[in-house]
Structure 1
Amino acid sequence: MTASDTSAAAPAVLRRRPILVTGGAGFIGSNLVDRFASEGHDVLIYDALARSGVDRNLEWLKKRHPDKVSAVIGDVRDEASVTDVVRDAQAVFHMAAQVAVTTSLVNPREDFEINVRGTLNVLDALRQRGERVPLIFASTNKVYGDLADVELEKTNDAYKPRDPRVRNSGIGEGRPLDFHTPYGCSKGAADQYVLDYARSFGIPTCVMRMSCIYGQRQMGTEDQGWVAHFLIRALQGEPITIYGDGCQVRDVLDISDAVSAYASAWRRIDAAQGRAFNLGGGPSNAISLRQLLTHIEEVIGRPVETIYDDWRAGDQRYYVSDTSLATRELGLKQPVNWLKGVAALARWLQEEHGRSPSGSSPSRLHKAEAL
């Protein structure tokens, strides 16, 4: 679908040199759109609406910013359509992707087409414009592989690196790339294309290698968005399946902090161009799945049923971002504490679903949010 196939609002926005957000109805994309529109920017969303629930995000954005937000329903695999929406953009935030490792194992060709060919379509549309239009790309910590060489020990329901340097700082950008699973390969290849288009063609691009982002407007599933998924299942009184032993650790980052990092990368693009940054909550927000479940039980005021299953392909037992480079170069502030952020997400999910879960206590939720 091209821009001409959408409502009359899209061409009007295009003439105002909008910020283009591919995947703009998704979790991170919708929060980016909301931030930029709230700041007074015209924003064009380009999204295939393939993920369940994202149509609600799009409806919310249009109601919230009727004069600032427009949308083109389209697929990044459609080269002509991508060229249309990129033509007048003042900046591009490329969030559109196939996002699940499990899906990539079922259909690796589609995973490649969306993540590699789709990204190349966006990049080449910018190259053909012949202007220095910034592009900020959503990459992943999966570009570093399974990190099997990082020696670990179990303490307090969580894996910890034996090396104190890694334990205290996390995984840095100097870590060698090591693509595992089709998803890791496709996102890793796209990551490298984005960086090379800065080297080869002078396009001001920047890569954000994200750890686990959570927060409002996240439609978490078992395959992707595990913090929201755990909360949704717990609030609905349904069991949660843990793949592995539950001691695997990730650094979690509230969506407000992730959006600020993306916005800063754009505003500091002269310094950020051609560079990759690890983006996560860092060591201070590193938690295991079991630790999250314990906190969720405190938030909702009752136990959560858990089921354990085998490890999944490519799962890292430990990944925590060394955020020092991003903090320094992008001017990032101290991130939201995960205890407070997760409790706030639980409250939002309750309001979004329009019901109070059986056995939960509103006062308990409020108390947890104040942590």
Structure 2
Amino acid sequence: MLEAARLEGRRIPVIFAGTTRVYGALSDLPVRELEDRYVPVDDKVARLGLAEDCEFDCSTPFGCSKGIADQYVRDYAASYGVPTAVLRFGTVYGPVPDGADSASSGISGLIARAVRGEAIRLPGGGKKVRDLLHVDDAAAACRAALGAVEMIAGRAFNVGGGPANAASRLMVLEEIAAITGLRSEVVTEPAHPADPPYFVSDSRRILWGAGWRPKVGWRDGLQETVRSLTVGGALPLAAPAAGLLSAGQIGGRKISA
């Protein structure tokens, strides 16, 4: 695609949907473990998130494939003048228009398993934190980057919900339970060594460069996503026998918000 844009003979913009996984495990980021999540020790990181100056770490096959693509897109701007930009997305979620069959992973998969009354398997105990980005905000970021591509060509941007939309899987499960009135059984699995305990995007660069910022709060977006899988008829709620949520409880454990 990049080569086709270069050979076109006119300026064809290319916006690449990349990933924050190019930063790897962030093993040098100190975090503190709370009851339901990890938080960074560094107050600045807690307030603003992680910026684009994080060191690349493409040591996994997935990270390597994404990192090479990320570099190619930026190099085509530097070497050939193709107007490109890289948007490094984190956890994107939102309504599921194709119904339950497509809700197999990510936030929608978590919701689908929860409302079916299935056990939820959480690597690392579900305490890793990500900033949740609604799909409408992700699409708006792409449009904003496209509109400003001549000014931001060759640059990469962390695009996420930011600290205001940071949540662990345990926090997401608690919110799902509050929405549906159902409790999920949590099964803890070993954490993946390449999965950082905390990644929240500092998206100020794309705010300054393209005027974009997220608009949908994660709790509102989660409620909309649950509704798309249940009210729309895609998934029936689990029977009351699966257990009602006791205030602040998931799987029998008290969790602080």
TM-score normalised by the chain length of structure 2: 0.87
- 1:258-273 aligned within 5 A: 258-273=138-153
Q: Displacement of 1:358 after TM fit?
A: 2.6
Name the SS of the counterpart of 1:270 in structure 2. helix
Q: For 1:152 and 1:243, locate their aligned partners in 2 and report how far apart those are by CA, in whole Å.
A: 17
Name the SS of the counterpart of 2:133 in structure 1. strand
The corresponding residue for 2:31 is: 152
Q: In structure 2, what residue type is equivalent to 1:204?
A: P
User: Among residues 170, 174, 181, which one is paired with 1:301 in the alignment?
Assistant: 181
Q: Deviations over 1:289-345 (max 9, x none)?
A: 111111111111010122111112411111000011112222124421111110110
Q: Displacement of 1:269 after TM fit?
A: 1.0
Q: In structure 2, what residue type is equivalent to 1:125?
A: A
User: Among residues 69, 85, 93, which one is paired with 1:190 in the alignment?
Assistant: 69
The corresponding residue for 1:291 is: 171
Q: For 1:312 and 1:339, locate their aligned partners in 2 and report how far apart those are by CA, in whole Å.
A: 27
User: Are residue 343 (structure 1) and residue 223 (structure 2) matched?
Assistant: yes
Name the SS of the counterpart of 1:245 in structure 2. helix
Q: For 1:303 and 1:149, locate their aligned partners in 2 and report how far apart those are by CA, in whole Å.
A: 36
Q: Identity, % of aligned pairs?
A: 37
Q: Displacement of 1:351 after TM fit?
A: 4.2
User: Among residues 138, 160, 175, which one is paired with 2:54 in the alignment?
Assistant: 175
- 1:244-255 aligned within 5 A: 244-255=124-135
Q: In structure 1, what residue type is equivalent to 2:18?
A: S
Q: For 2:142 and 2:15, locate their aligned partners in 1 and report how far apart those are by CA, in whole Å.
A: 7
Q: Deviations over 1:78-103 (max 9, x none)?
A: xxxxxxxxxxxxxxxxxxxxxxxxxx
Larger relative contact order (CA 8 Å, sep ≥ 6):
2
Instruction: Answer yes or no: is the 8 Å Cα contact 1:146–1:180 preserved in 2.
Output: no
Q: In structure 2, what residue type is equivalent to 1:221?
A: S
Name the SS of the counterpart of 1:287 in structure 2. strand
Q: For 2:60 and 2:214, locate their aligned partners in 1 and report how far apart those are by CA, in whole Å.
A: 33
Pick closer, same or farther for the CA change 1:215–1:131 going to 2, 3 Å: same
The corresponding residue for 1:85 is: none
Q: For 1:220 and 1:285, locate their aligned partners in 2 and report how far apart those are by CA, in whole Å.
A: 21
User: Are residue 130 (structure 1) and residue 9 (structure 2) matched?
Assistant: yes
Instruction: Answer yes or no: is the 8 Å Cα contact 1:172–1:323 preserved in 2.
Output: yes
Q: For 1:185 and 1:129, locate their aligned partners in 2 and report how far apart those are by CA, in whole Å.
A: 29
User: Among residues 112, 117, 134, which one is paired with 1:237 in the alignment?
Assistant: 117
Q: Displacement of 1:221 after TM fit?
A: 2.9
Name the SS of the counterpart of 2:131 in structure 1. strand
Q: Displacement of 1:267 after TM fit?
A: 0.9
Q: Displacement of 1:217 after TM fit?
A: 3.1
Q: Displacement of 1:352 after TM fit?
A: 4.8
Q: Displacement of 1:131 after TM fit?
A: 1.8
Q: Deviations over 1:91-117 (max 9, x none)?
A: xxxxxxxxxxxxxxxxxxxxxxxxxxx
Q: Displacement of 1:174 after TM fit?
A: 1.3
Q: In structure 1, what residue type is equivalent to 2:185?
A: E
Instruction: Answer yes or no: is the 8 Å Cα contact 1:253–1:335 preserved in 2.
Output: no
Name the SS of the counterpart of 2:10 in structure 1. coil
Q: Displacement of 1:180 after TM fit?
A: 2.7
Residues matched between the structures, number: 236
Q: For 2:235 and 2:214, locate their aligned partners in 1 and report how far apart those are by CA, in whole Å.
A: 33
Q: Displacement of 1:350 after TM fit?
A: 1.6
Name the SS of the counterpart of 1:137 in structure 2. strand
Q: Displacement of 1:176 after TM fit?
A: 1.6
User: Among residues 197, 200, 204, which one is paired with 1:320 in the alignment?
Assistant: 200
The corresponding residue for 1:70 is: none
Q: Displacement of 1:353 after TM fit?
A: 4.5
Q: For 2:185 and 2:59, locate their aligned partners in 1 and report how far apart those are by CA, in whole Å.
A: 31
The corresponding residue for 1:256 is: 136
Q: For 1:346 and 1:235, locate their aligned partners in 2 and report how far apart those are by CA, in whole Å.
A: 9
Q: In structure 2, what residue type is equivalent to 1:166?
A: V
The corresponding residue for 2:95 is: 216
Say what the alpha-carbon RMSD is for the aligned residues.
1.5
Q: Displacement of 1:220 after TM fit?
A: 3.9
Q: In structure 1, what residue type is equivalent to 2:81?
A: G
Pick closer, same or farther for the CA change 1:267–1:241 going to 2, 3 Å: same
Q: For 2:95 and 2:239, locate their aligned partners in 1 and report how far apart those are by CA, in whole Å.
A: 23
Q: Deviations over 1:181-223 (max 9, x none)?
A: 100000000000000000111110010001101002373434x
Instruction: Answer yes or no: is the 8 Å Cα contact 1:151–1:162 preserved in 2.
Output: yes
